[in-house]
Chains A and B, each alone.
Chain A
Amino acid sequence: MLHRRLYQFLLIYLLGLAFILGLKYSLSLSDYVIPAPVDIWETAHEVFFRYIADVLSTLKVAVIGQVISILLAVFVGVVGRQTSWLGSFVKVAAYNVQAYPIVALAPIIFILLGDGFISRLLIAAMICYFPVLLSVLGIMSEPVSDVEHFYTTTQRMRWQLEIKIRAFENLHKLTTVIAGSATLAMAGTIVAEFIAANAGIGYSIRIALYQSDLAKILVALFLIGICISFYQGLLEWTGAQVKKMWAGIG
């Protein structure tokens, strides 16, 4: 699971790199536009440790943002699953608010909170939050009649049991959503850093962009891909372990 994620990324990255280099040599583009492989290699040597630290800083913000958004989404999803007016209100509000591109609010956040850690975290959490919320709402609002009937009819059903049943029956979906939301959180953090933050790999990419240094950007993309693939693989592996322990299946 973990290694599959990594080699899938490596394959896609190498294909992308080959395409860019193919473009360079077929159109005879200068090293200033697309650097030669040796330049990319040298740049990688030069910036590797600095960029790794930047990627880990970004990943740290993304992970914290993702955890916050998952906790919030589960809480709101649990409230929104109800057939009461509050549940309906939460559902309608969630579906409408998520239609707005949250990233467009980033400048307001930077103006109000500055360009530090909190702004990056908030944007990461907001970008990650709504897709997770919609999935959790969908899962929690859908009764699992074949399992729930007994508890309902014998008046044993409690809200905790209802959530447990629905979460258990949709464990695979939840794991997929959580693993997928890691990419969203990472993207949100990078976008935030790219817009205005003063740290992280998005900030480094912004500087590389001002320098028109594609080699640095390619190295940054490689490190982002490796780290996020590793993190997603780890999430999927954890999900599989939880399923194994909870359901007694591999």
Chain B
Amino acid sequence: MLLDCRDLTYQYPNAEHPVFKGLSFKIDQPGFHALFGPSGVGKTSLARILTGNIADYSGKVIRDDTTKLLFTYNFERLPDWSVVGRHLEKITPPSREELKNDLINIFGLTEIADKRFSSLSLGQKNRINLIRYLVQDFDLLVMDESLANVDEPMRETIILKIKALFPDKYFLYISHNVSEVSKFCQQILVVREIYKQPQIVFVSGRDCTAAQPLQTMDVEKTMLEVMNAS
């Protein structure tokens, strides 16, 4: 098991009410999971708690000390003092050089290595940012809207490739795209408003892979389940 969360409650500083209260759940199987829910229910805060970026919460997050957890979000920027290719070179461990080049190809970013980050489109920025996390050593990677502003076919390509390249890793994908999470994710953790109990509900996704195409009906059924749960 990677993470066991018990009775998590979190309140924003200066807020009158907690954003979520008494959340308990486990993440015990590797794969591409999703954290889904309406805006403002605390998905990002929850992810930040899981990865240790927020400390002032109550409850317990039980994990092995050696577990490497990373959190990435879609507004991150690379420093603009050199070109993105050089940044990637600097932060990629030598043993993952081939993986990095592979990802750059698959993510459609071969042309931008000599450009500076600020000159890229939003979609390109998010893809480059995601690559620099994928080449790190991690057990769980939380991707908070990391594929925002990326066109749909490319998103599909990226998600399928991530699933194929990292079958033993844990991913927690925060997205508002119900069809995407229903189609590609294994477990969908639906976070609901605080007045709904339980505040977190699990829905099984279709966990589509490149080798395993899906029936539209099945995806639609999962989408309905997710929408009903949220």
Contact = CB atoms under 8 A, between A and B. Distances in A.
Q: Do A and B come from one complex?
A: yes
Contacts of A248: 80, 116
Contacts of A247: 80-81, 116
Contacts of A49: none
Interface of A: 146-147, 149-150, 153-154, 156, 164-165, 168, 246-249
B76 A149 contact: yes
Contacts of A154: 70, 91, 136
Interface in B101-143: 116, 118, 129, 132-133, 136
Interface in B44-63: 51, 53
A150 B77 CA distance: 9
The 5 closest A-B pairs by CB, nearest first: A146-B77, A147-B77, A247-B80, A246-B81, A146-B76
Given A150-B132, A153-B51, A153-B70, A168 B80 contact: yes
Nearest to B71: A153
Contacts of A149: 71-73, 76
Contact of A150 (B53, B81, B133): B133
Main secondary structure of the interface of A (DSSP, over half): helix
Nearest to B137: A154
A150 B76 contact: yes
Contacts of B80: 168, 247-248
A139 to B, nearest CB: 15
Interface string B69-97: 01111011111110000000001000000
A250 B45 CA distance: 39
A249 B78 CA distance: 16
A165 B53 contact: no
B75 A146 contact: yes
A153 B71 CA distance: 7
Contacts, number: 39
Q: How large is the interface on B (under 10, 10 to 19, 20 to 34, 35 or more residues)?
A: 20 to 34
Nearest to B70: A153
B75 A165 contact: no
B91 A165 contact: no
Interface of B: 51, 53, 70-73, 75-81, 91, 116, 118, 129, 132-133, 136
Contacts of B81: 164, 168, 246-247
A192 to B, nearest CB: 39
A147 B76 CA distance: 6
Given A153-B51, A248-B116, A147 B78 contact: yes
Contacts of B53: 153
A164 B82 CA distance: 13
A154 B135 CA distance: 11
A147 B132 CA distance: 13
Contacts of B72: 149-150
B78 A156 contact: no
Contact of B79 (A147, A153, A249): A147
Given A150-B132, A150-B133, A248-B116, A156 B79 contact: no
Contacts of B79: 147, 164-165, 168
A74 B37 CA distance: 46
Nearest to B138: A154
A24 B132 CA distance: 71
A156 B91 contact: yes
A147 B91 CA distance: 14
Contacts of A150: 72, 76, 78, 91, 129, 132-133
